[in-house]
Amino acid sequence: MNDQAILDDFTSNVKLNDKRTINGWAFFDWANSVYSLVISTAVFPIYFIAVAPDFIKVFGVDYNSSSFYNFVVAAAFLLLALLSPILSGIADAGGKRMKFLKMFTIMGAVGCAGLFFFKSETFLWLGVVAFAMGTIGYAGSLVFYNSYLPQIASEDQYDKVSARGYAFGYVGSVLLLIFILLLIQKPEWFGIAGKDGLGARIGFLMVGLWWLGFAQITFRRMPKDSDKPTEKGIVKKGFKELTETFNKVKGNINVRRFLLSYLFFSAGVNTIIYVASVFAKEEIGFDDAELILLILILQIVAVFGAVFFAKISKIKGNKFTLAIQIIIWMAICFVAYFTSDKTVFYALVGVVGMVLGGIQPLARSSYAKLLEDDVDDLTSYFSFYDVLFKISIVAGMFLYGMVHHVTNDMRNSMLTLAILFLVGLVVLFGVKFKPESQPHLSKKS
């Protein structure tokens, strides 16, 4: 069976802009965003440092728990950066996108639920393996999830649909986080007082159940995989699919430039999100309770940011809207460098929430618009986008850490991130979107 036959079979039952399908797709953000907020940002990092020993020996070398945690994250993302392009090529070649989405979802959910058993340093390696599974499951599922966007929505709806997904994610993750915080802060309400860490561990279990449970909505509503038997040599064919897509990326100057721009501004965005709580604690003087409040403010405001900037892009176009947001991110770096006032920082976090909620879905939908002529390689194309996302985290964190190490001043690190945004902005200016993606220009013409 040739590739076009697989594609025809894969897309034959797809109805563009179907509300039920789109909401089903968006519910995957609702399902898996609890990992991003609860496990990777708000609760588990603090829990890990509290439970793990101060130093962890690996291959005869002692690492402090904080560094070891960062290495686990980096290793998981590096593994996915290597594997996801290959897996996506296989998924495209065999029409088995949903199969891989389910596989990574189950892995991630089981990993998060497994953290329930990480109750002391005696179970350290169980906790490390479970956390790594959650991270790999989360990051691995995104490339397959994102690649559905051009299949379920017409191009004029990309921004709105992408924003809906992120908005679902922000709302769902905040709701579960609030409940988990109650488990931790008010254990007597739930009959678990005096049992240290049990509230957090129940929270980790709930993340896994939440993720796997709500993902079923997505699994039921998304286009089905090809029902043709998997052909022999599918791995070889997957490599061929990936190579062909890579050559197309190289040959498409707009896709190439956008990915380069995304690499730089995504490095800035993700680094700020990862270091914001540490910066707030070390440089501004926030305590743990205030840090949780900052995270909630950021997540809630991000919902409105996703909707607001989707509307702006409909009027002014993707390129203009992305550029404005990148400029705002640059301004955030400068304000963070100069301020020591908590009130100013609260306001700054609100601004961060707005542009975080705006730039993430708009970057995804902008990339999808550049791929309209190559819909037969969706997963492979989005694998490049996904790999750059992972590389941007590693690169941004390395730059931030190196500047901090050399200058012994975290504020200098924050200021340096403005350079990443500036480079991303300059490269973005060279990307040419189709006129229909830039309403303010197409009207003039």
CA distance 367 to 150: 10
Residue with tokens 């594997």: 83
pLDDT, average across residues 199-207: 96
CA distance 294 to 287: 11
Alpha-carbon torsion (385, 389, 394, 399), positive or negative: positive
pLDDT, average across residues 412-416: 92
Least confident segment among 55-59, 263-267, 333-337, 435-439 = 435-439
Domains present along the chain, CATH in parentheses:
3-442 (1.20.1250.20)
CA distance 70 to 56: 13
More confident position, 15 or 214: 214
Q: Where are the alpha helices (DSSP H) in 57-123?
A: 65-94, 97-114
pLDDT surpassing 70 at residue 30: yes
| DSSP state letter for 194 | T
CA distance 5 to 9: 6
The SS3 of residue 119 is: coil
Residues 237-281 pLDDT 10s: 666 666 777 787 788 899 999 999 999 999 999 889 877 877 888
| DSSP state letter for 444 | T
What is the pTM for the complete model shown? 0.79
Residues 105-129 pLDDT 10s: 999 999 999 999 999 999 999 999 9
CA distance 129 to 179: 26
Phi, psi for 63 (deg, rounded to 5): -120, 140
pLDDT, average across residues 21-46: 91
CA distance 390 to 322: 20
From residue 225, give the alpha-carbon distance in Å to each of 91, 93, 102, 229, 257.
9, 11, 12, 11, 32
Contact criterion met (CB below 8 Å) for 379 and 92? yes
Contact criterion met (CB below 8 Å) for 29 and 171? no
| DSSP state letter for 267 | H
CA distance 382 to 255: 11
Residue 231's pLDDT band, with cuts at 50, 70 and 90, is low
Q: What is the pLDDT of residue 88?
A: 73
CA distance 123 to 51: 10
More confident position, 444 or 38: 38
